[in-house]
Amino acid sequence: MEPNDQTDREAWLKIFNADEAKREIKERAMQLASKVLLGVDLSESLAEDGTMSYQLNRPIGGHGKTFVDIIYCDKSLRVIRGQFNTVYVLSKVPTAYLT
């Protein structure tokens, strides 16, 4: 994950670079459940450029049972097909609509 531009970097850091001690019990419980159930490897801190990475070692549905094929992808549109031939069209929402 990474911030989409420099204008929201301060908000990004406030949310994702929070001190471990300041995290609420609910958030810590969700992280523990993610580690136990999905085998999630979480980053302990953000990289210099504000990026964060994680890995699911035990994906939901098991290996080879759940997948998506990316049919088309550009900066504003993504078309994917799921394992049951369901087609999803995702469009990026302009930030003007989010306020």
* pLDDT given at position 1: 60
Token pair of 60 as six digits? 């939901």
* pLDDT given at position 62: 58
* pLDDT given at position 89: 95
* pLDDT given at position 79: 94
Q: What pTM value is reported for the model?
A: 0.37
* pLDDT given at position 99: 64
* Beta strands, E only, 1-99: 40-42, 54-56, 68-73, 77-82, 87-91
Q: Which sign does the torsion angle of CA 73, 10, 35, 41 carry? A: positive
Question: In terms of C-beta distances under 8 Å and separation of at least 24 residues, what long-range contacts does 73-78 make, across chains too?
Answer: none
Q: Which residue do the tokens 């302009």 mark?
A: 94
Ordered mean pLDDT values, 10 residues apiece, the chain (99 residues): 66 66 73 82 74 73 70 91 90 77
* pLDDT given at position 75: 87
Q: Where exactly are the structural domains of the chain? A: 1-60, 67-99
Contacts of 12 (CB under 8 A, 6+ apart): 3, 50
